[in-house]
Each structure stands twice: as structure tokens, then as C-alpha cells.
Amino acid sequence: MAADNGIGPIRRTIPSFAETRAQSPIRIRRSNSHSQLLTVMQTTNQAGQQAAQQVPRFIKTLNASTKWLVTLGNTIGVWSRPRRYHGPYIVVGSIAAVYLTQVLKKLINQSRPADAPFADPGMPSSHSLVSFFAAVGWIGSLGNCYGDLVGKVSLLAAAAAVALLRVVCGYHSVPQIAVGAALGSILGRSWIVLGNLLHMSNPRLLLIAAWAAYLSGSA
């Protein structure tokens, strides 16, 4: 039996480096901070999910149907005046605006609200941009009589409703639809100005090109 030289008890009473590190106040504070962060994130996600669940079902249904309503409105506008270039020209521009919005989203890369069910970036809102693009485009094709003025107001109101529904449903923030509305309005007006210039240069060619692009895009 080996003699006890007194070193064994001393070693047993001195904590190891791993034990000291495990009991370090800094490590404890880091652990507590991490737990608090997780708690805050879970609380935020739960609040976002509860807010999304509180949106009435008919609002969500209306929001989901806006793309079909916009498509129906554009189709009626196009085929109600088949001898004018404005309808197919505006629709083709709206399709191009959709692709432009996707590029801008990737470049800006701003997240949607925390409770949004989509993971892709949200700046700018594509629904807002395209709705205002089409609305301003159709406004540019109308005259100045009373009926046309009512139509202009209705178009802007419809575009605003489409954009606001995205916020109410939690899919976008207010700045995201505001930027989309501003860009869509500017691009829509610029598209109509370009169309007017092309029409003055060669109206028949513009009519044929607009209808060809519209029909090929609809196929």
C-alpha cells in the first residue's frame, strides 16, 4: 500500500481548468444571454403567428383573389378596345415589371415582416409595384371626361387596396408597399410616355408589336 504523501488530498481540493471554466461568471452570463435571446425570438414569432391568425379569413381570401381580379380587369380592358395599342402594351409592360421587381428584391434583400409566411425578400412589394404600374398605365390611356375621371380614381383606389391588403395580411411592411407604389407609378408613366412616342413614329407597327407580344406572353 502506497504511502500518502499529502499531494492527493490537495489535488482533489484544487478545481481543474475545465471545472473553473464551466463555473466562470462570463460563461454563465453568455449562457443566460443566449437563453434570453431565444426567449425573445420565440415570443416574437408567437406574437407574429397570433397576429396572422387574427386576420379574418375573408380578408385573406380577398388578398389571394387579387391577382385573378387584376388579370380579369386587364383582359377586359385589352379586348374591349382591340384596335388600340394601349391594352396589350400595358399588359406587356406589367409582365416586364414583375421580372424587374424580382431583380430589385434580390439586390435590396430586405426581409419581410417576422410573421410573413414567405422567405423571399420583400422590398419592394411586387403586388404594389405591378398594381400601380398597371393603374397609372391605364390612366394614361383615358381621356378627361367625367367618366374617365371616375375610372382614374377607381384604378388608383384598386391599386391602393391591393397594396394595403399585403400589409394587413402580414406579407409586407408599409415601406415595402410604399416603395413599390412609387416605383410602379414612375415606371407606368414612363412606359406610357414611351408608347406615345412610338405611336407617333409608327402607330401600325406599335399596334402589331404590342398584340404580338401580348399573345405570345399569354400563350
Q: Are 128 and 166 in contact (CB under 8 A)?
A: yes
pLDDT given at position 65: 81
Split at pLDDT 50, 70, 90, the class of 219 is: low
Average pLDDT rounded to a whole number, residues 101-111: 92
Q: Are 136 and 184 in contact (CB under 8 A)?
A: yes
pLDDT tens figures, 172-186: 999 999 999 999 999
Say how far apart CA 159 and CA 168 lie, in whole Å: 15
142 or 138, which is more confident? 138
| pLDDT > 80? residue 189 | yes
Split at pLDDT 50, 70, 90, the class of 19 is: low
Amino acid identity of residue 101, one-letter, is T
Say how far apart CA 78 and CA 89 lie, in whole Å: 9
Say how far apart CA 132 and CA 113 lie, in whole Å: 22
pLDDT given at position 218: 65
Is the overall model pTM greater than 0.95, yes or no?
no
pLDDT given at position 122: 87
Split at pLDDT 50, 70, 90, the class of 134 is: very high
pLDDT given at position 55: 78
